[in-house]
Chains A and B, each alone.
Chain A
Amino acid sequence: MIRLEGLGKTFGSYAAVSDLNLEVRPGEIFGFLGPNGAGKTTTVKMMAGLLKPSAGRVLINGLDLAADPIAAKRAMGLVPDEPFVYPKLTGAEYLRFVGELYGVPLDDMRKRVPELLEMFELAPWSGELLESYSHGMRQKLVLAGILLHDPKVLVLDEPMVGLDPKSGRLVKDIFIRLAERGTALFMCTHVLEIAEKLCHRIGIMIGGKMIACGTIDELHAQSNKEGRDLESIFLSLTGGGEYSTLLRYL
């Protein structure tokens, strides 16, 4: 599970994230929404150990990320917003490399690497350099990489970007299956439809602060809006009328 306690990050005098408290339980898919610049990616980076928090702490599977980073990271898998990988490795080599970093036994890797490549339809390209992969193929490979070591916690920043509809469906099914098996999933996304269908609970962030958190019903109650769909709730909570001037201009 994931627990964020009073998490904050400042860049100079600018507070990107302030006093964020959150718990994602095992088996739960948590959707993290917010407009651009709300502090979502900063939060993800702090959770993955890529940024040092200015305040508070991150607990992954009960382990303090600052105190015991190696054990905490071993229990976690990250999909960043941009799937940058080593261009001079092949797909199969990348998976094997990630497996070795996370201590996956060699016998398990021999079995699982071809399975994952097959599952994500990357097997025909497994022996080719990653510099020739498209964005979507690299995204699938990164997803395959995190599944290889079977993490207890998944941190996902826009995991569906660049995926074709078939792969998108596959990834959604994988997330549901992982949650059923007890994995805690924390997912940043701008695609409200995915969040609505997939997530058990949703948090909405603006200006570095969590302004709403709960199930769809709970968010609806907080927003006082007629429509029950997530888009209406999201726009009600984050403000959506300001583009009327723009529309007039067009």
Chain B
Amino acid sequence: MLATLLRRRTRTFSNSISHWTRYEWIRNAAFSSAGFGLLFGLHYGFYRLLKYLATIELIGLLLTWKLTAMLLLMTLSMVVVSSLLTALTTLFYSYDLKFLLKAPVSLRTVFLDKSLESAFFASWMIGLILVPYIAAIMRVQHLGLTFFAGFIVAVPPFLLLAASFGIGFTLLLLYFFPSSRTRDVVWVFSSLSLTVVYGLVRFAQPEKLIRPDALKVVAEYLSFLQAPTAPYLPSWWLAEALRMSAEGDWRGWALRAFGLWGAACLVYGLLVLLAGKVYFIGYSGAQEGALRRRVHSFRPLAEKYFLGTGSAAALLWKERTTFFRDVKHWSQILLIIGLVFVYLFSIRRLPLDSAELRSLVSFLNVGTAGFVLAALGLRFTFPAISLEGRAWWILRSAPLDVGQVMREKFLFSVVPLLSIAATLALTTNWILEADRFTSWLSFGALVTVGLAICVMGVGFGALFPNFHVENIHQIESSVGGFVYMAACLFYVGFTIAVLAAPMQMHFAERFGTGVWNSRVAAFSGGGWLVLNLAAFIVPWQLGRRALENHE
């Protein structure tokens, strides 16, 4: 029966490919090429890093394998968190569950089908990113294809183990907290714990451990490099298996690989047994609908004053009310607060000795903070239109212009995005004691970046609407999400490029090696203006037209 269920996936996949239009073939080929380009870029970055590590005498290899162990530990934690979120939707809220559970199919088969789906979707992208890293190790250490084959054999149980932990946690959560309100509270506390753990790990300053000067003696540093990284976790077993295969110790590799497969089979088997006891109870609780509860909403005075009671005010009120009542957004907000603190802490810990270097980092902060803002835009602004979902008919059949809906989505997103942009710019400049020119330039640039990312988020969200998705992750990882992220990174990169000229002249003036050239400054300002006009107007207009014609 499981084979039948799995066959429907391969059939759905092949049917969707066979029905692609020429436009879809070209579009998907373009995005696949861009994806390969991204993997190639990652490979190049890893290769440069590993090549540099290899040149360090005596400890080069130790550093490589330490880095590998840390990377795999990070991969493990990312797959666990990702499977937590994926399992909730696939195991409990998928559209096809009602059909599957009323068919004469055993609950175990349904769980096997859905848990494997969760594990696949939670891990394939993170697993794929390991490939350029492994290829870089192969190039630097001149290893053959057997090393790659050793990786391919050992990585599936590692990913399955990580995903099983996340799925297991979700199963237990839904079993012990069938009531929606308790579940919401637990969900928020889980996110809060994750944020705290993330913060604690960062505030423990792990970078000290890979900087010899932070440790007292060489022997202490060497012993750190040789010590296992979380030896009880599968990430260390995989790291060891890779190291052994690289050293030609295939017996040691086989032992670790066998251990990984054995542990994966055991943990997944236990998960299936656990599911037999708890899955249906959790599923049943999830279907009982939300707890009936009376809720109250209020309209802030400022909103009343500026927007009155017309349709614009109604749209903004609806957006705010539905957003804050969805507990899944609270967990995201907690994680963002944690992210901002960790970001600022990392800036503070940067080893920058001179004032010029600090000012330069303050300018380059436009790029890194821009990336953070783009990630937030992808999570909150870009999906805003698609999240109208099947209730889109209400707005589409109402006496409203599509532009009005887009303006309201923009208004709702712009305040938090600009606040975060201003916080990151002002605090970073204050921490780094950047000079006045750099402070103003980076502040102005980052606020404009925040605005542009918000406008582009609504524009691209309207250009690629999808009102039939099951969860927000499908919107983020869609073709539109990819295009939006690429456009944001392109925009941030160009912002840095066009503003580099005034920064360069500013430094030249400070060092006394050059003078301020107004013509170059005007040219740079003009370029920045054109870039922003394009970012503000083109996606918005294209999105508006696409949404008006959306069927």
A contact set with B: CB distance below 8 Å: 48-52, 69-71, 73-74, 76, 78, 80, 82, 84-90, 93, 96-98, 100-103, 106, 125, 127-129, 131-132
B391 within 8 A of partner (CB): yes
Counted as pairs of residues, one from A and one from B, with CB atoms less than 8 Å apart, the total is 93
Residue of B nearest to A46 (CB): B551
CB distance from B227 to the nearest CB of A (A): 50
Interface size class of B (residues with CB under 8 A): 35 or more
**Known: A80-B393, A103-B311, A129-B325. Contact between A73 and B289, CB under 8 A?**
no
**Known: A88-B325, A127-B295. Contact between A100 and B397, CB under 8 A?**
no
Query: Of B190-198, B207-215, B314-322, which stretch is located at the interface?
Result: B314-322
Selected from B295, B317, B394, B549, the residue in CB contact (under 8 A) with A98 is B394
- Note all chain A residues with C-beta closer than 8 A to B295: 90, 127-129
- Note all chain B residues with C-beta closer than 8 A to A125: 292
B290 within 8 A of partner (CB): yes
Residue of B nearest to A9 (CB): B551
B471 within 8 A of partner (CB): no
Cα distance, A102 to B291, chains bound together (Å): 31
For window 270-299 of B, CB contacts with A under 8 Å fall at 289-297
Cα distance, A106 to B304, chains bound together (Å): 13
CB distance from B298 to the nearest CB of A (A): 11
B400 within 8 A of partner (CB): yes
**Known: A129-B293, A129-B295. Contact between A86 and B322, CB under 8 A?**
yes
| 17 A-B pairs in the complex with CB atoms less than 8 angstroms apart | A49-B397, A50-B551, A70-B399, A70-B401, A73-B398, A78-B393, A84-B390, A84-B391, A85-B391, A86-B322, A88-B326, A89-B318, A97-B317, A101-B315, A103-B311, A125-B292, A129-B290
For window 306-334 of B, CB contacts with A under 8 Å fall at 309-311, 313-315, 317-318, 321-322, 325-326
Residue of A nearest to B551 (CB): A51
Selected from B291, B321, B400, the residue in CB contact (under 8 A) with A93 is B321
B396 within 8 A of partner (CB): yes
Q: A71-B399, A89-B318, A129-B295 are in contact. List 7 more A-B contacts (CB 8 A).
A: A50-B393, A73-B397, A73-B398, A86-B322, A100-B313, A101-B311, A101-B399
- Note all chain B residues with C-beta closer than 8 A to A101: 311, 314-315, 394-395, 398-400
Cα distance, A51 to B290, chains bound together (Å): 33
CB distance from B292 to the nearest CB of A (A): 5
CB distance from B59 to the nearest CB of A (A): 56
* Residue from A71, A90, A100, A125 whose CB has the most chain B CB atoms within 10 Å: A100
**Known: A86-B318, A93-B321, A100-B311. Contact between A73 and B297, CB under 8 A?**
no
B389 within 8 A of partner (CB): yes
- Note all chain B residues with C-beta closer than 8 A to A131: 289-290
Residue of A nearest to B389 (CB): A84
Residue of A nearest to B549 (CB): A52
- Note all chain B residues with C-beta closer than 8 A to A52: 549, 551
